[in-house]
Amino acid sequence: MNCETIDWLNKHSGKYELSHSGMSGVFDLKEYFNKSTPGHETDLKEQIGNLHGVDAKNVVLTHGATEAFSMVLYHLHAKYNTFIVNKPEYEMIYKTPEIFGYKEGNELFVASNPNNPTGTLIKFPDTYSSCLIDETFMEFVEKLDKYRYTNGYIVNTFTKVYGGGDLRLGYIIAPDKDEAAKLEGFKGLITEDVSWINVSAGYEILKKHDELLANVKEIINSNHKVLIHEKGKLKFYGGKDPLAMPVSFVDYSGYTAEGSESVSEKLAKEGIIALPAKYFGITGPYLRVCITGKDFPEAYRALLNALEGME
């Protein structure tokens, strides 16, 4: 099993990158690395705990959301054997449980909230035993203390809101301090402590939290207006407009009946990079379009013009 999304993106690049879901390039991360000093792990956990409205002892630092997601799945496999997922969904969410041996069932609900790629808040199943929720995009639409999940684990990353892809810093919010301590126990065995340099850079970033969040929301809100009001014959998945966040799942069937993989390849040849529906676990006339770039209005016009030229 491999990550087809990453494979595809590594093979495609273009002038208009409608595939980048993080705010990369918005901030200069060197500013925060240059201020790094040892000893900020407790401080960073306090900052994260305050944002989520939880005790800092419930916070576990990781090398990003992917590692966080895997650590929780590994931890919970002694309790649960099955998982529930609603597609379309980000590839990591629906593939990683299978890597750990989970079968489809009704015990552990896994999801991104808001959903990647549709850009909408998720609907929970009627019954489940525990949940693992990736809130990577939550802060674009709600405060992080908005949602509580019974017997639930939250993972998040500095990659999206803060443009920190190169920071490799994420975290887990465990249901209580005892569960967090068990997850911390994996460090040195199946993973490592996060570098103090990265931890301290994260601490410096969160010291400017309100300013940075306001800056990215200004970009996203502006681009979101373009997405909604200048969409031509595009529609959105399920007929529901995405929230003002980095991703949307556009329905291009008003332009062509071609499959999404073929459409993505044709767009790529014109320098327009957008992911096809296949990589989100479904088929159909859908592309994930990201609105993070400052050049999004120009890129969006290029996308629409290219679709107009397809039969």
What is the per-residue pLDDT across 185-200, written as a single tens digit (0 to 9) for each? 999 999 999 999 999 9
For the stretch 218-229, pLDDT in tens is: 999 999 999 999
Q: Please say whether the beta carbons of 55 and 49 come within 8 A.
A: yes
User: For residue 54, what pLDDT band results from cuts at 50, 70 and 90?
Assistant: very high
pLDDT at 116 over 80: yes
More confident residue, 10 or 273: 273
pLDDT at position 163: 87
Q: What is the pTM of this model?
A: 0.95
Phi, psi of 103 (to 5 degrees): -110, 160
pLDDT at 118 over 80: yes
CA 142, CA 156: separation in Å to the nearest integer? 14
User: For residue 2, what pLDDT band results from cuts at 50, 70 and 90?
Assistant: confident
pLDDT at position 28: 87
Contacts 24+ apart (CB under 8 A), 251-258: 251/284, 251/285, 251/286, 252/285, 252/286, 252/287, 252/307, 253/285, 255/307, 255/308, 255/310, 256/285, 256/307, 256/310, 256/311, 257/285, 258/285, 258/310
Q: Please say whether the beta carbons of 40 and 203 come within 8 A.
A: yes
Token digits of residue 120: 């909408």
Token digits of residue 275: 């992911």
Token digits of residue 66: 């992917």
Average pLDDT over residues 239-253: 97
CA distances to 254, 282, 300 from 250, rounded to whole Å, are 11, 13, 12
pLDDT at 304 over 90: yes
Percentage of the chain beyond pLDDT 70 is: 100
pLDDT at position 297: 97
